[in-house]
Structure 1
C-alpha cells in the first residue's frame, strides 16, 4: 500500500539542543530520538521567522511571511494583517480535494478569529499563544476524568524594568498530575481522531492528515513536580552566549534583555530554569510516544509519513535574552526537523531547509498539486536519499517585530551569517570561529570580502523573492552595480 497518510507533530518555541538526537546527553527524549533514528534528521532546519503566527502561516501556505502578510502575532499586532487572505494557497485545499480526512488538534494561531474549521479541517479552534487552560473543552475533560483543575504554586517572575513590580511569569509548579495537563488533553483528542480516521481508512481507504500542535515548551514552564524536578540543575551547562556584552550589537538587544529582566536571575537560578525547560521537553516527548505507539497499534506505521518540528526556538537565557525577538541568533532560528517516510532511508542531512518546504513535501507525498505561488521546495528527494544538488547552501529569514515593529533580514551559509538591520548596526558572525555569535565582525577589515559577498547575495535573493526589503538595501548597502533601478525605471538614467 502506498504511503499516503501524514501525522504531523509540532511544538512551540523548542530549542534544537534539548533533544538527544541533536546531541543533548542528559535530556530523555526516546520517542523523538527513535523517530529520528528511523527517518531523516535535518541538521540545518530553519524557521522563516522566529515568531509564532508568521511561521505557522508560512507552514500552512508555503509562502514567505512578507508574501502571506501575517507578519506578527495578532495579540500584539503592530498594524499587519490579522487573517490570511481568502485567496491564499493553503495545504488543506488540495488535500481535501483528493479526499483526505484532515484533522488538527492544539495550537493554531494562524490569525485571530479563523480556526481550522474555517478551512474544512476537523478540530476545535483553541485561540491564543499559550495553553488555553480555561477553555470549556479542557475544563469538561478534566471534570469527566476526575482530574484537578489548573493551579500553580511557587511561580517565578522576572522583575519589571520600570520598578513597578514583577515582570513576566517564567515558570511554576503545576498542581496537576501529568495525565491532567493540557499536553495530555491534546494528545487524547488527537488519539480520538486517529481512532476515527484509522477506522475510516479500513472501511473506504481514504487517507488522512492529522496534526497535533502542543503549546509547549513555550514559556512559562508550568509543569508537574515530576518533570519540574526531573533534571539536576548541576547537570545543566549555561549557554556560552550568556557571556554576551552587546558590544557592537544593535541596542535593541540590550533593551530586550532588560524587558525580560534576564539579569534578574543568577547562574544557579538560570540552571534551574533551563532544567525545568528540559523537563517540559521530556513531558511532551512522552505524549509523542503515545501517538507513535497508537499509529503502530492501528497497523498504519508503514503507511504513514511522520513529521516533527517546531515553529521556532527559544533563548532561555542565551545571549542574556528570553522568549524570542529582534535578534536573529541560531537559538531561535534553527529548529528540529525530523521526518520519517516509510521506505526511505534512515539518514542525517545537512542541506538547508525550512518550514516552508514542508508544504510542498506533504502535497508531494499525497500526490496533490502544489498551488501557486509556493516559495518552498519538496524535501521528498532528500528524504529519499538523493544526493544534494548544490542549491541548498544557504537560508534567508525575515523578522517584522514582536511586542513592537522591528524589521530584519538574515542570510546564513555554512560558515557565516549576515543580519541586516536597517535602523541600526548590521551584524556579521563567523560561526566556525565564533559558534556562540558573540563577536560582530561586520566592521572588521579581515571580513570585508565576506561582508560584501553576503550583502550582495542577500540583496539578490530579496530581489528574486520580490521582498520589498530589497529597496532598503538599494540605497543603504554596499552592493555596487548590483543595485536594480527603481520601480519607475528612472533612477539609473538620472544617475
Structure 2
C-alpha cells in the first residue's frame, strides 16, 4: 500500500469495558463504535506498563520501559530518567525525514520539560498528568470565546487513611458548558492543524500524522452536568472483583486500597462514580466524532489511517482499588486497540499486541524503515487480514513503581497469568475459571506445572530482552534444574 496519513487518537486511563464495541450495552460511544466497525478491533491489546509516562515513552520510542529508562511519572520520580535519551529512536524523526507534517495536541507526559515542539512537531507542551485547566493558552481561548473559566462544585472526595483530612478528589460537577471544556479545546486545536495539513495534502501530496491525546477519562471526573448525570446509576453493575479480600495477595494491594479509600464509598456511591466515568467516556467519544467527521468532510478519509487507544486502564472500584498502581490486573493492563487502515477489511482479532507495536506499525504505514532496535513489530500484516500463524502466544509487561519504587513483571497467555513480585508473594490466575482474578493459585499443587511453565517462559523472555529482572529470577525462581544460574557469564570458568 502507498504511504498514507495517520490520525492518532489517545485517551488516558480508559477501561476497555466502557465502549459499546467491546460489549458495554449502556454506554453510548457511536464514534468509536463506528471506527471499530470500519477497521480492526483488537481484543487482546495491552499496555507495556500501566503508568502514563513509561507507556507513552514506549509508544514514542518503540522500546520496553526498562530500555528507554523513563520508568515512572516525572511527578513521582525516584531517580529514573526524566527525558528520553538523545540517541533514542523517537517516532518523530523518521517521519519528519520522510517529509511528513507532524502535529501533537494534548497530553504529552513523556518528559518533564521537553514537549512535542522539542522533537520538531507542531503543538504546545501541555505538561503534567491532569487536565491543565489553568494553562495560559486554554484560558486565553476561554476569554476569546466568552466562555466561563474552570470551576467545580460538589466535589467527591475519599477519606485520608491517616485521619488527617479528606483524601483524593474523585469527581465533581464542572461549571462550564460542554463546548468550553478542555476536551473541546483540544479537539478544536487538532481541527486547526488538520485544516492546514489537509491543504498541504491536497495541494502538494504532503502526508501528515496528527495526534490528539485527551487527558480524560482519567480521574478526577470533572465534567458538565449533561454528562455527569447522563447515566442512571441503577444501570451500572458493580465490578465482580469488588468481592476482593486480598487473601494470598501482595500486601501492597491492600495498602493501595487504603490510600485511595475505595472502601469509603458504599455500593450506591460507587455506582454513581462509575456512571460519571461512563459520562466522561461519552463526552470524549463526541470529540472523537468531530475529528472523524472532519476527515470525511476534508476528503481525507480514504487516505488516512486512524488509530485509537489508551495509555492504560483504570480500576474504578475493581479489586477495591482506584486509579492504577502495583497490581497487574486486566482492568489496567488490557486497553482499547482500534485501527482502521484504508483498503483493509473490517475484522476482530485476538492477536496479542501492545502499544510498542504501534510504533513499528505507523512507520510501516508510512513506508518508512523500522529501526533495528525497535522492540515491537508491525501489525500491518494482521490489519491486512493475514492468518494468525506466527503471532504471539503471550504478552509480557513490566512495572517499576508509581508513588514508590515497586518492581513487577507479568506474563499472560490465553488462559493463565503469572505476576512476578520480587519483594512479595507471586500471583497466578486461571482466567478461564477466575476471569476476575480473585483467587491466587500460585501455590496450589494442582497448578504446579502451570507455575513452572510460565515462570520458565517469563525468565526466558526477560533474558532474551536483556531485562535485568531475570538476574533475580536466576537464583530465586523455580525455572528448572537444567537452567544453571550463570548470571555473570563466568560461573563455568571458576573451579
Q: Tell me if TM exceeds 0.5.
A: yes
Secondary structure at the counterpart of residue 299 of structure 1: coil
SS of 1:173's partner is strand
Q: Say which SS state the counterpart of residue 168 (structure 1) adopts.
A: strand
- Structure 2 stretches of 5 or more lacking a match? none
Q: Structure 2 vs 1, CA of residues 369 and 390 (structure 1 numbering), >3 Å: closer, same or farther?
A: closer
2: CA distance between counterparts of 1:263 and 1:482?
47
1:390-447 per-residue CA deviation (whole Å, 9 max, x = no partner) reads: 3311100000001110000000000000000000000000000000000000000000
Is 1:115 aligned with 2:115?
yes
- For residues 23-59 of structure 1, give each alpha carbon's deviation from its aligned partner in whole angstroms, at most 9, with x where no partner exists: 0000000000000000000000000000000000000
What does residue 182 of structure 2 align with? Answer: 182
Superposed displacement of residue 486, structure 1: 3.4
Q: How does 1:277-426 map to 2 (within 5 A)?
A: 277-426=277-426
The alignment's TM-score, normalised by the length of structure 2, stands at: 0.99
Pairing of 1:138-149 with structure 2 (within 5 A): 138-149=138-149
* Structure 1 pair 192–298 and aligned structure 2 pair: CA distance change class (3 A): same
SS of 2:290's equivalent in the other structure is helix
d(CA) in 2 for partners of 1:494, 1:439: 44
CA offsets 1:305-350 (integer angstroms, 9 cap, x no match): 0000000000000000000000000000000000000100100000
Q: Contact 2:102 / 2:210 at 8 angstroms: preserved in 1?
A: yes
Change (3 A) 1:208 1:427: same
Answer yes or no: is the 8 Å Cα contact 2:394–2:412 preserved in 1: yes
**In 2: Cα distance, 1:157 partner to 1:167 partner:** 6
State the shift of 1:201 in Å: 1.1
2:210 match: secondary structure: strand
1:147–1:180: 8 Å Cα contact kept in structure 2?
A: yes
1:232-290 deviations in Å (ceiling 9; x for gaps): 00000000000000000000000000000000000000000000000000000000000
Aligned residues: 495
Distance of 1:371 and 1:100 partners within structure 2? 18
Residues in 1 aligned to 2:467 and 2:389: alpha-carbon distance in whole angstroms: 25
Q: Distance in 1 between matches of 2:29 and 2:116?
A: 29
Contact in 2 for aligned 1:3/1:342 (Cα 8 Å): no
Provide closer, same or farther for how the CA distance between residues 48 and 408 of structure 1 changes in structure 2, counting only shifts above 3 A. same
CA distance, structure 2, for counterparts of residue 20 and residue 311 of structure 1? 19
Find the counterpart in structure 2 of residue 93 from structure 1: 93
In the alignment, the residues of structure 2 paired with residue 489 and residue 134 of structure 1 have an alpha-carbon distance, to the nearest angstrom, of: 54
How many angstroms does 1:485 deviate by? 4.7
Aligned to 1:51: 51
- 1:164 paired residue number: 164
User: Aligned-pair distance for 1:389?
Assistant: 2.0
- Higher mean alpha-carbon deviation, 362-371 vs 326-335, is at 362-371
Partner of residue 24, structure 1: 24
SS at match of 1:397: strand
- Name the residue aligned to 1:436: 436
Q: What residue is the counterpart of 1:247 in the other structure?
A: 247
Provide the aligned C-alpha RMSD in A.
1.0
Distance in 1, matches of 2:228 and 2:207, equals 39
Per-residue deviation at 1:484?
Answer: 5.3
Change (3 A) 1:493 1:444: farther
Cα shift at 1:482:
5.0
CA contact (8 A) 2:201 2:207 kept: yes
- Residue 291 (structure 1) shift: 0.1
Gaps of 5+ in 1: none
CA distance in 2: counterparts of 1:484 and 1:367, whole angstroms: 44
Residue matched to 2:135: 135
Q: CA deviation at 1:204?
A: 1.0
**Using the alignment, how far apart are the partners of 2:358 and 2:248 within structure 1?**
36
2:149 and 2:84 map into 1 onto residues whose CA distance is 35
Give me the whole-angstrom Cα distance separating, in 1, the residues matched to 2:202 and 2:106: 26
Change (3 A) 1:383 1:473: same
Q: 1:480 Cα deviation (Å)?
A: 2.0
Task: Determine the C-alpha separation between the residues in 2 that align with 1:456 and 1:12.
Answer: 33
Question: 2:471 touches 2:487 (CA, 8 Å); kept in 1?
Answer: no
Alpha-carbon contact 1:3-1:341 (below 8 Å) kept: no
**Alpha-carbon shift at residue 372 of structure 1 (Å):** 3.1
Per the normalisation by structure 1, the TM-score is 0.99
Q: Which moved more, 1:194-203 or 1:333-342?
A: 194-203
Q: Is the 8 A contact 2:61 2:374 kept in 1?
A: yes
SS of alignment partner, residue 168 of structure 2: strand
Residue by residue over 1:75-126, the C-alpha shift from the partner in whole angstroms, topping out at 9 and shown as x without a partner, is: 0101100001000001111100000000000000001000001110000000
In 2, distance between residues paired with 1:382 and 1:307? Answer: 14
C-alpha deviations, 1:118-149, integer Å up to 9, x for none? 11000000000000000000000001111000
Q: Is the 8 A contact 1:242 1:320 kept in 2?
A: yes
Q: Distance in 2 between matches of 1:82 and 1:184?
A: 30
Q: Distance in 2 between matches of 1:89 and 1:484?
A: 35
* Contact map agreement 2:3 2:367 (CA 8 A) in 1: no
CA distance in 2, matches of 1:36, 1:494: 59
Counterparts of 1:67 and 1:443 in 2: how far apart (Å)?
Answer: 32
Q: Is the contact made by 2:474 and 2:487 (CA closer than 8 Å) also made in structure 1?
A: no
Q: Residue 480 of structure 1: SS of its match in structure 2?
A: coil
